[in-house]
Amino acid sequence: MKVSAASLARAFVEIAKTIPEGDVGALGEAAAQMLIQHGLTRQSHAFLRLVEREWLKRDGAVPVRITTVSGHAGPLAKEIADTVEKALKRACHIEERADPALMGGVLLQVGDERYDATLRGALSVLAARLAEPVSVS
């Protein structure tokens, strides 16, 4: 069986759910050693994100990432959480991030789906349309 960071993350979550909380740190160290042994040190930066995704999947929660200029969506975060939970009939885990390059608006990621309602995104679409050739017939 080929070992990958994703398969190791799944195994980590499965084992972590069955051992005492105090032993999870040692399990993390063992997982880090396995990443090194299998030559996966380049993927180690993504390992924690993979573990979090697997943990949420196991609990049935949908990861929702809200990216705004400030990193704080305020009451919009609660509205988004309520809407996602109602639409998917599943709990969601909200993560807010800041990205000053957005220039305004919100970038929403629900699971693997991305919704771009940012000024940067709108300007990119406009630039692409303006660069399209115009037929004169």
| CATH code: domain of residue 68 | 3.40.30
Pull the structure tokens for residue 74: 């305020």
Residue 135 counted as domain residue: no
Rounded to whole angstroms, the Cα distance separating 39 from 3 reads: 10
Q: What is the dihedral of CA 69, 70, 74, 76, to 10 degrees?
A: 10
70 and 28 share one domain: no
Pull the structure tokens for residue 32: 């880090």
124 and 80 share one domain: yes
Among 58, 78, 100, identify where a domain stops: 58
pLDDT, tens digit (0-9, with 9 covering 90-100), for 22-74: 998 898 888 888 888 888 888 877 888 888 888 888 888 888 999 999 999 99
69 and 125 share one domain: yes
36 and 96 share one domain: no
Domain boundaries, position 110: 61-130
40 and 67 share one domain: no
107 and 70 share one domain: yes
pTM (2 d.p.): 0.65
Which class for 32: exposed (0-12), middle (13-18), buried (19 or more C-beta within 10 A)?
middle
76 and 32 share one domain: no
pLDDT, tens digit (0-9, with 9 covering 90-100), for 78-87: 999 999 999 9
Number of domains in the chain: 2
Residue 136 counted as domain residue: no
133 — phi, psi (to 5°)? Answer: -70, 145
Give yes or no for a contact between 46 and 9, defined as CB atoms under 8 angstroms apart.
no
Residue 21 counted as domain residue: yes
